[in-house]
Structure 1
Amino acid sequence: MYILFLGGPKTESLYMQTNIKKPLLLAFLIMIASVAGCIGNDDTDEKETLTIAFNLKDDYTNVDENPQRFADYLADTLDMNVELYPIDSEGATLQALRFGNADIAFMDGAAAWIGWQQYGLDALAADQKSDGRTYYDAHAVVLKDSEMAIASLDSDDSTDPFSLLAGKTSCHTGWLKSAGMLLPMGHLIGNGYANVIGDSDDIESVRSTILNFFSEDSSIPDSGTPYYSYSGALRCLSEGAGDVAFVKDSTVASYCENTDAQENEDWCLDEEEYVLLPSYGSAPSHPVMYNPELLDSEKVTLIQDALVAMKDST
């Protein structure tokens, strides 16, 4: 895990490059969320407690992804009791920070932007990619024999792969995700490929717009289902459940182009089968968010220092 210290909360770090029209942007500010329960430990109350909102899994194939390791590191470094607050959605994460059920949380860039706009949340750090970037590019992935791939690779400016997406079955990473939903829909709406369906001030207009422009069988998966997240969207495409997957620039390489082929997912096709359409925008990498009204600046600084120390030790 790599963490970049931002040198203090910067609202501009949550800016997403997109062509989404203003009415649709306003729709993104309406939250649909639920609040999950809290778990903790029986440690003594003599120490301060830091609570981290995290989407917990029943098991982790990669021990480095286990949030308990992160919690244990912060507990040792900060000399605090560190608890994990389980959440099952980005909306639940926002509510946990908003109402003080959690002190910090890793979030998708789109949800973080909503939290900043709607609830005054701030970023104290951001996930840093192995190449030093604190952002990622969004791409649509199609298969090489599709008409979209042919149009993209034919060097003919008159053929537009994005116009050919109409009526196709799309594979999204989840509801209101950055690369998997908001950026591609912003591109399609902003450039006149798709029209907003329904009340643009109603967040459900995003879903209606997707199902109107794409096929009604398009995948908008819930957390924990097979086609959820970047790997799930690519799997959706690979298994023939969809015609296009909306992911980030490193998704195909991460899951299907490893040097050791045994590390690839069993649903992967040959790497030459995948074609990335031109990027239509970038999103900030996942930030660590907090509520400045509830978490004091001294503790923020301590957490930032601990995250920097963790990065330097990797």
Structure 2
Amino acid sequence: MALHCTSAITTTVTATILVLTTLTLLSTGKKFRWCTLSDLEQRKCAELSKVLLSVLPPATISSFARVSCIRAHNTHDCIEKIRVNKADAASLDAGDVYSAVKLFGLTVVAKEVYVEGTCMFAVAVARRGTLNIQKLKGTRSCHNGARWTSGWNVPLGFLLARNDLVWDEDQPLSHVISGYFDASCVPGIGVTTPQLCNLCQGQKSYIWEKNHFCESSGDEPFYASEGAFRCLKSGVADVAFLDHLTIMNATVSEQEEYELLCPDGSTAHLSAYATCNLGHGPGRAIVTRHNFQKISKKFLTLIQNLFGKKGKEKARFELFASAPFSGKNLLFHDATQYLQMIEEEAELSQVLGLDYVALLQGLGHEGSSLSNSLVRWCCISNAELQKCEEWALNVKSDPLVCVQADSMINCIELIKNNGADAVSLDATHAYFAKKCALVPVAAECYGQECTEVRREEEPETLTPLTALPPIYTVALAKKNVKHINIHNLEGRRSCHSHMYSPGGWLLLSRYTVGALENEFLNCNISSAYQDYFWKSCMPGANGNLCKVCIGQKEMEGGKGLSRCAANHNERYYGNMGALRCLLGDASGRNFGDVAFLEHHNLLQNIEYLDNSGWGARNTASDFELLCLDGHRAALEDWKACNLGPVPPNIVVTRPVTIRKVNDFLRQSQVPSLGSTFQLFQSQQYGESDLLFKDATRYLVPTSHLDYEAILGASFSHLAESVFNCTHAGIFDICKQDTCTYAPPH
């Protein structure tokens, strides 16, 4: 109780101090100090101060009417001035915003919104006919700023994801870049990599205040996106990396002379930035100190209402125009339509986006960390964690760390949030990962086709398959229950490997609820299954779809812990779990009439359950497959009697960690002398398909394939159709992350 009271008193005192500080500022007329980065910005800021004094009535003169313009040497100096209370606010590139918040303790109060949304596309521009994106190595480059979104972070993430840039993380990324390009100008990069500054043209001096060479300020001619474009146009560089806002208003002659370099190796007109870009990220934002948030928001709201696009006094002064001061993007970007205020409690990832924050962490913006040299694998159950820990003891490459999660969806969230690096997902969850901007790094390969190209001694020489062998979904019933067939399953008890499983949830909808074929039926598959089956075990679902589930260890008077959990802690989870469900628990209760699972390892799983005592005296001959024509067949006839193929499992990661995870997986498949650990075996842990499917022969690198190629057009179309109508919470999480882009009308 004492601790609670202390906390409440502290909060009250803090709030009181903030109110008093605000009142003091208003009464004393202390100036609001804006940090500027060039003489032109200083001129525009001084004009803002002058006009603000003239438009506010004397009776309402406050601290806001007295704007002071604080000239900084560079963006870092600006951030430091705000931190030590020598300036109050500035508009910065999102890369500098991240550094200001994470490394210097500042906070974001507003962000710029442009006519097309909050996105800023990163584009590579070159002279027409001179270059393509696949020939960048050894060229001369100009970048708008060190650690800036469109000139550094997104392009480097793009190059790393394509393996064009090799970074072992034992050295600073800037050193790798200096070896990749022949010469560069990256304003603000610092003196440790002079190769990245040798194209810059700012004034050189041993006196810090007079040195403007390669600095992130307007005194460096090649600073910012306008400067990077100027660098290219001057002829000293072959390519410029900048934001799309700079080329939106390119002159006719510039459009004829320059073009965009597209990711597929083609080129495009400067106006095609929405489809020909290296990626996108957040635009600029305004930072201040934590104790100055409310005052800064009031100031920004005031000047926006007066001088913004719809301002009452915009005839006197235009906040988002720089031409009257013979410059561009002064104080704010000229393309800004309005400033969007940020909630005080907003996380940085909410402001900049999860993907962008994860990218910056992957690029080492917080300095080197232990996680940069690790591969963090996501595990969804205690059994997976046990297998993962044994994997970690036997792997020969980078250290492996096992991260605990409670479902595949939770793993997607963790990877997106940079809390884990990789996981192997079934096809439906891989579809989710695609929507969440994760990328495929490898695919599981099953069957004889994989054995034929497998070379145990040289996994790096594996022949990439153009078509990955599928797995088949089967409907299984007990042989002695003769009256059940594929056409009369409605109202029965069903066993599914898990919610969203490619075969037992997505593909099954074609043959049971029929939601896609009949517009009058409920097209929400999750809801339709609730009505279709009497009761089920579909781990990860709810309602009557969980009534057959039994959880982990049974407690007195009820079901066990982790009941209906979307992981192996629910004993009816997965292919082995669905088989257990069909057999029923040890007491003979809690069983289903039909099980939907995958054909692989079916005979081995039946034998395992028999030997373990779960399925005592049950052999393969005690079960039959339900065929689509209404007949039954023996288990060995799965090729002719199945519900259809589904794509293989896919290992996913963030784009910036593709190379690290790919190298790790390659090394993990190299046989280790004296080791008994098997990456694709799970029964010794009491389950099946832990971390990977037990039917996996090896992992195929997928750098040559995209999601569409791996999942196939048919499955992708089915998933799109279902999820246009069936809500999945993971989509909400991922939609919150990306910046918005609305093409102009």
Calculate the TM-score normalised by the size of structure 1: 0.66
Give the aligned partner of residue 177 of structure 1.
148
8 A contact 1:197–1:209 mirrored in 2: no
Would the alpha carbon gap of residues 188 and 198 (structure 1) be closer, same or farther in structure 2, given more than 3 Å must change? same
Would the alpha carbon gap of residues 197 and 167 (structure 1) be closer, same or farther in structure 2, given more than 3 Å must change? farther
How far residue 95 of structure 1 moved from its aligned partner, in angstroms, is 0.8
Equivalent residue runs for 1:199-210 within 5 Å: 199-200=170-171, 205-210=172-177
Greater C-alpha Rg:
2
Would the alpha carbon gap of residues 109 and 71 (structure 1) be closer, same or farther in structure 2, given more than 3 Å must change? farther
Give the aligned partner of residue 10 of structure 1.
none
- Counterpart of 2:102 in structure 1: which amino acid? Q
Matched residue of 1:308: which SS?
Answer: helix
Matched residue of 2:108: which SS?
Answer: strand
How far residue 71 of structure 1 moved from its aligned partner, in angstroms, is 3.1
Equivalent residue runs for 1:156-171 within 5 Å: 161=133, 163-171=134-142
Matched residue of 2:184: which SS?
Answer: coil
Give the aligned partner of residue 292 of structure 2.
295
How far residue 231 of structure 1 moved from its aligned partner, in angstroms, is 2.2
- Counterpart of 2:123 in structure 1: which amino acid? H
Would the alpha carbon gap of residues 74 and 113 (structure 1) be closer, same or farther in structure 2, given more than 3 Å must change? farther
Cα distance in 1, alignment partners of residues 111 and 238 from structure 2: 32
Aligned partner (choices 248, 255, 260) of residue 271 of structure 1: 255
Aligned length: 234
Task: Tell me whether 1:230 sits opposite 2:230 in the alignment.
Answer: no
Matched residue of 2:227: which SS?
Answer: helix
Equivalent residue runs for 1:128-139 within 5 Å: 128-129=113-114, 131=115, 133-139=117-123
Matched residue of 1:66: which SS?
Answer: helix
How far residue 197 of structure 1 moved from its aligned partner, in angstroms, is 7.0
How far residue 74 of structure 1 moved from its aligned partner, in angstroms, is 5.0
- Counterpart of 1:187 in structure 2: which amino acid? F
Cα deviation, 1:97-150, whole Å, max 9, x if unaligned, reads: 211111111111110011122233222222232x152331110011221241xx
Cα deviation, 1:10-49, whole Å, max 9, x if unaligned, reads: xxxxxxxxxxxxxxxxxxxxxxxxxxxxxxxxxxx94122
8 A contact 2:89–2:296 mirrored in 1: no
Give the aligned partner of residue 104 of structure 2.
119
Matched residue of 2:103: which SS?
Answer: helix
Cα distance in 1, alignment partners of residues 147 and 51 from structure 2: 31
Task: Tell me whether 1:107 sits opposite 2:92 in the alignment.
Answer: yes
In structure 2, stretches of 5+ residues that fail to align are 1-26, 187-199, 201-213, 262-275, 315-745
Cα distance in 2, alignment partners of residues 74 and 103 from structure 1: 17
Give the aligned partner of residue 466 of structure 2.
none
Task: Tell me whether 1:219 sits opposite 2:214 in the alignment.
Answer: no
Task: Tell me whether 1:257 sits opposite 2:251 in the alignment.
Answer: yes
Would the alpha carbon gap of residues 296 and 123 (structure 1) be closer, same or farther in structure 2, given more than 3 Å must change? closer
Cα distance in 1, alignment partners of residues 32 and 223 from structure 2: 29
How far residue 55 of structure 1 moved from its aligned partner, in angstroms, is 1.0
Give the aligned partner of residue 401 of structure 2.
none
Calculate the TM-score normalised by the size of structure 2: 0.29
Give the aligned partner of residue 143 of structure 1.
127
Aligned partner (choices 241, 244, 257) of residue 246 of structure 1: 241
How far residue 50 of structure 1 moved from its aligned partner, in angstroms, is 1.3
Give the aligned partner of residue 502 of structure 2.
none
Cα deviation, 1:231-250, whole Å, max 9, x if unaligned, reads: 22112222321111001113
- Counterpart of 1:186 in structure 2: which amino acid? G
Cα distance in 2, alignment partners of residues 187 and 119 from structure 1: 27
Cα distance in 2, alignment partners of residues 225 and 96 from structure 1: 20
Matched residue of 2:164: which SS?
Answer: coil
Matched residue of 1:241: which SS?
Answer: coil
Cα distance in 1, alignment partners of residues 304 and 223 from structure 2: 31
8 A contact 2:110–2:297 mirrored in 1: no
- Counterpart of 1:305 in structure 2: which amino acid? T
Cα distance in 2, alignment partners of residues 274 and 253 from structure 1: 13
Give the aligned partner of residue 29 of structure 2.
47
Pick 1 or 2: higher relative contact order, CA cutoff 8 A, min separation 6.
1
Give the aligned partner of residue 62 of structure 2.
79
8 A contact 1:74–1:306 mirrored in 2: no
8 A contact 1:124–1:304 mirrored in 2: no
CA RMSD of aligned residues (A): 2.6
Cα distance in 2, alignment partners of residues 199 and 94 from structure 1: 28
8 A contact 2:119–2:280 mirrored in 1: yes
Equivalent residue runs for 1:13-52 within 5 Å: 46-52=28-34
Cα deviation, 1:171-211, whole Å, max 9, x if unaligned, reads: 112333221222211221233111237745xxxx2331221
Identical-pair percentage: 21
Cα distance in 2, alignment partners of residues 225 and 56 from structure 1: 9
Would the alpha carbon gap of residues 211 and 136 (structure 1) be closer, same or farther in structure 2, given more than 3 Å must change? same
